[in-house]
Amino acid sequence: MIQEFSKINKVEGELNLPGDKSISHRAVMFSAMAKGTSRIYNLSNGEDVKSTQACFKKLGIETKTVKDFVEVTGKGFKGFHKPESFLDAGNSGTTTRLISGILAAQNFESVITGDESLSKRPMKRIITPLTAMGARITASENNTLPLKIFPGENLHAIKYELPMASAQVKSAILLAGLHCDEETSVIERNPSRDHTERMLGLKIEKSGSGKISYSSRKDYPDTKEYFVPSDISTAAFFIVLTLLSRNSLLRIKNVSLNESRTGILHVLIEMGGSIERESERKAAGEPLGDLIIRGSELNNIIIPEEIIPNIIDEIPILSIAGIFADGNFTIRNASELRGKETDRINAICSNLKRLSLDVEEYEDGFSFGGKIKNSNPVFDSFGDHRIAMAFGILSMQLHSGGKINNFDCVSISNPDFIRQIQNITR
């Protein structure tokens, strides 16, 4: 579907956004692993989290929507069924990599498949450490899906230093570590998001060379009430839209303010963005609060390497802010972007070139400058929800608007994007 956007005049109002995608996946998984019924409030309504729910359904775990929460009745570690057919993770890397850590320790065989995009994404990064723990996993020739996971009841603990910043890889190892008597430890030089550690209450240590997270059998999850804060990665699109629009004021309620995810706020504030926090509090171990955003003049800044894992999902929309900020925009040390739902470095550069900006593509990033010369461009989403929404926001800043091809993919994280935009724009 082609989605057309016109130029907007201003942003005004208040938004409630769906639950954080990363926290939602984990809330479903950890509830499924616990013995008994857990409740999840404000679960993400995106397709990715539905993929996680569908995979657990095939493992014998039902999720049920009751009033304003979702109920998951877990059956404990030994309670999963051998699935009758493959587990389809759809478009979701988080589903695939985290569930692999759980399945690696089961006494049955399972096969994980996914859509065309997921079937191209790298899986060696989880196969290597899980195999070192005693798991038996095979993949396609290129180390991509389908993954076949053989019974592996006797996993052993490992000490593993992550070769790349990845919360998905870290979580897969820590989840497999829940089946070992000894402690598994994962070392990160540039720490990635820490929802798994927080939600399971894992021990962590900060050391000179980074951060170490530990898991063992004693950390196996119990039933719980989860309150999922609004997704800061989804909020980022509305934050940038407001910052770029004159005389604008937006409040976004109950946004996740977990420090391993708020890098986007720090960067935008340093660029000159007016973003204030109110009503900060914690719910089920995760910090949250309201954000108040006002239209602002922005300047491009140097984005440091250490913050990249913290803003990895926000780089598409950050680069849109960069178009309208003073000076040239540069992002480096972000080669992980090439392994996302699409090669995001290539997708962003390809779309920016359609505006006739001066774009330079690097293996680990890109830079651009110059003035927009093309009015009414047609962008491509490359089937990637974050690219679709980022260029939708850009189109709303262009005099003659813009169009995005293949826009439906926004439903991966936020099916209500268009309705939310209509509610807050004039």
Active-site residue set:
313
Instruction: Indicate whether 168 belongs to the interface with ligand S3P (CB under 6 A).
Output: yes
Residue number with the smallest Cβ distance to ligand S3P: 22
Which of these, 409, 411, 414, lies nearest to 382 by C-alpha position?
Answer: 409
Phi (first) and psi of residue 282, to 5 degrees = -125, 145
Asked if 274 and 240 touch (Cβ cutoff 8 Å), the reply is no
**What is the identity of the amino acid at 32?**
A
Cα–Cα distance for residue pair 207/215, rounded to 1 Å: 17
- Which residue lies nearer to ligand S3P by CB, 88 or 231? 231
Instruction: Indicate whether 231 belongs to the interface with ligand S3P (CB under 6 A).
Output: no
Asked if 200 and 219 touch (Cβ cutoff 8 Å), the reply is yes
Would strands 402-405 and 365-369 be described as parallel, antiparallel, or unpaired?
Answer: unpaired
Stretch binding ligand S3P (CB under 6 A), from 58-66, 160-168, 243-251, 253-261: 160-168
Find the binder of ligand S3P among 38, 53, 96, 166 (CB under 6 A).
Answer: 166
Instruction: Indicate whether 234 belongs to the interface with ligand S3P (CB under 6 A).
Output: no
- Least separation in angstroms between residue 23's CB and ligand S3P is 8
Cis? peptide before 83, omega within 30° of 0: no
Q: Is 37 left (phi over 0), alpha (psi -120 to 50) or beta?
A: beta
Instruction: Indicate whether 337 belongs to the interface with ligand S3P (CB under 6 A).
Output: no
Find the binder of ligand S3P among 3, 22, 52, 242 (CB under 6 A).
Answer: 22
Instruction: Indicate whether 52 belongs to the interface with ligand S3P (CB under 6 A).
Output: no
Q: Which residues contact 64 (CB under 8 A, 6 or more apart)?
A: 70, 71, 72
Instruction: Indicate whether 167 belongs to the interface with ligand S3P (CB under 6 A).
Output: yes
Which of these, 308, 314, 310, 384, lies nearest to 346 by C-alpha position?
Answer: 384
Task: Identify the H or E element spanning 330.
Answer: strand 329-331
How many residues sit close enough to ligand S3P to count as binding (CB under 6 A)? 12
Taking the CB of residue 57, how many other CB atoms lie within 10 A of it? Answer: 14
- Which residue lies nearer to ligand S3P by CB, 110 or 166? 166
Which of these, 38, 46, 22, 180, lies nearest to 101 by C-alpha position?
Answer: 180
Taking CB under 6 A as the rule, which mask of x and - marks residues 300-329 in contact with ligand S3P? ------------xx----------------
Instruction: Indicate whether 336 belongs to the interface with ligand S3P (CB under 6 A).
Output: yes
- Which residue lies nearer to ligand S3P by CB, 39 or 121? 121
Stretch binding ligand S3P (CB under 6 A), from 37-45, 165-173, 260-268, 272-280: 165-173
Taking the CB of residue 218, how many other CB atoms lie within 10 A of it? Answer: 9
- Which residue lies nearer to ligand S3P by CB, 11 or 103? 103
Find the binder of ligand S3P among 53, 117, 192, 300 (CB under 6 A).
Answer: 192
Residue 52 CA to chain centroid, in angstroms? 14
Find the binder of ligand S3P among 94, 106, 248, 258 (CB under 6 A).
Answer: 94
Stretch binding ligand S3P (CB under 6 A), from 139-147, 167-175, 207-215, 294-302: 167-175
Give the binding site for ligand S3P (CB under 6 A).
22, 93-94, 166-168, 171, 192-193, 312-313, 336
